[in-house]
Structure 1
Amino acid sequence: MEAVFSKEIQSGLDQARVASMKKSSRLRVCADGKKQTVLRMWKTGFAMEADAPDMRGMVDLYDGSIHLFRCLVVTTAEESGERHYEFKRATAVRGTPALDFETPEHAPAGLIEDAR
């Protein structure tokens, strides 16, 4: 059995759901020097509050202070008090610089000197 609520009650429930997701989320998007809270994220995109700006272009995605992805995004839809964004590209950020050479498979991890 499916419950049907009036528009006012459904709107209040959506606002309460968005507020609880915003409070518990650690994900942030940084675009043009402004940080905004991400409500939820999935494999191909993420959702923010409905009053979030239309974003199109490069953004940085953070989990707290950890830089996760450098993303190319586009706004796709707005539903249930959320604005959805889709990744056109999401490049994971690495903690080490990229190598411009191939490392041998059995390369030593370090040198051990004879300290006699």
Structure 2
Amino acid sequence: MTDMLPKEVRAGLEEARKRDLKRRSRLRVMVGDEIYPILKFWETGFALDADQVQHLRGLVDIYDGTRHLYTSLIIASDVEEGDLICTMKRSTIAHDSVPLDYVRESDAPVGYLPRN
């Protein structure tokens, strides 16, 4: 049905769709100092606006607002219908603390007081 619309109207509808997806999505990808909003996200990849970035590979960080969610390795990116589709090889969950290499007892002291 959209094939019958004039080219300018189709472009306007596509721009409005992307603007709405950017506004609703809190997910962001950070590459170095650059930050791009994620339009769609799935288990093995995500989609970005191809007008902002044409090619993306390597290690990136994915955020939900200010909360760090994943560190991901992008192995491929292709432009499809105005979206940059990024395929991830791996995506590791970001933790707030360093993982322990021992079992912490539930009743262990949180800290020690000095002897004075």
TM-score (ref. length: structure 2): 0.80
1:1-116 alignment, distance < 5 Å: 2=1, 4-6=3-5, 7-51=7-51, 52-101=53-102, 103=103, 108-110=105-107
Give how far 1:94 is off.
Answer: 1.2
Structure 1 gaps of 5+ residues are none
Q: Which runs of 4+ in 1 moved over 6 A?
A: none
Where 2:70 maps in the other structure, the secondary structure is strand
| Partner deviation per Cα, 1:46-67 (whole Å, 9 max, x = no partner) | 1111121411100000000000
| Partner deviation per Cα, 1:64-89 (whole Å, 9 max, x = no partner) | 00000001013432223211101111
Give how far 1:14 is off.
Answer: 1.2
| Alignment RMSD (CA, Å) | 2.0
| Partner deviation per Cα, 1:12-56 (whole Å, 9 max, x = no partner) | 211110011111211111101111111121111111111214111
Structure 2 gaps of 5+ residues are 110-116
Identity among equivalent positions (%) equals 35
